[in-house]
Chains A and B, each alone.
Chain A
Amino acid sequence: GAVVSQHPSRVICKSGTSVKIECRSLDFQATTMFWYRQFPKQSLMLMATSNEGSKATYEQGVEKDKFLINHASLTLSTLTVTSAHPEDSSFYICSAKDTDDHEQYFGPGTRLTVT
């Protein structure tokens, strides 16, 4: 099956710093990648949708200047959390799909802790 990787799996950063999370599709071309955030005991909430070579589409309430998304190639999307605050601490999960597939393939997630 299709494999999606995320890096890093865990990151701890200080308040005010920025952190970058990478999402890679390893064995297929991902025309669309999705970024989700999941707080403890809650379900996945879509943050943004990115299509290769174009600007990401952000969901209502998600600050595009704080959560920078780059989908520069068909196998890589990055999410940068800028000026991180403790309330940004969460589990960030990416998923990827190609044009002809209805199924999204999820990465293993990144646990971000902002101190």
Chain B
Amino acid sequence: GQNIDQPTEMTATEGAIVQINCTYQTSGFNGLFWYQQHAGEAPTFLSYNVLDGLEEKGRFSSFLSRSKGYSYLLLKELQMKDSASYLCAVLPNDYKLSFGAGTTVTVRA
């Protein structure tokens, strides 16, 4: 089976930066996704990394190191609306997305 680990909860202050780490051990690797999910809603796509390095997209950035089986999602200039669950998901050899348990981020004023 696939193993994807990420912290359960994180809390940060509005305007601050939060980094959500994700480590994975999977049968093959065809990319890593980050999704944002608000309570009661479906996940929305944030980023996709398949090569090592940092991908920046506005306030959100995602980093990947394939040799370390490691990724992080960086959220900058946090806003209250960023309070949500953030899901790390890996696409292994069978091309079936395998999700981590999700990290609940709470942004405080």
Contact = CB atoms under 8 A, between A and B. Distances in A.
Interface of A: 34, 42-46, 49, 91, 93, 95, 102-109, 111
Contacts, number: 44
Interface residues of B, number: 22
A69 B81 CA distance: 36
A107 B10 CA distance: 27
A34 B43 contact: no
Interface of B: 30-31, 33, 35, 40-45, 48, 50, 87, 91, 95-102
Q: Considering residues A44, A107, A108, which has the most beta carbons from chain B within 10 angstroms of its beta carbon?
A: A44
Contact of B96 (A49, A91, A106, A108): A49
A102 B50 CA distance: 10
A106 B45 CA distance: 9
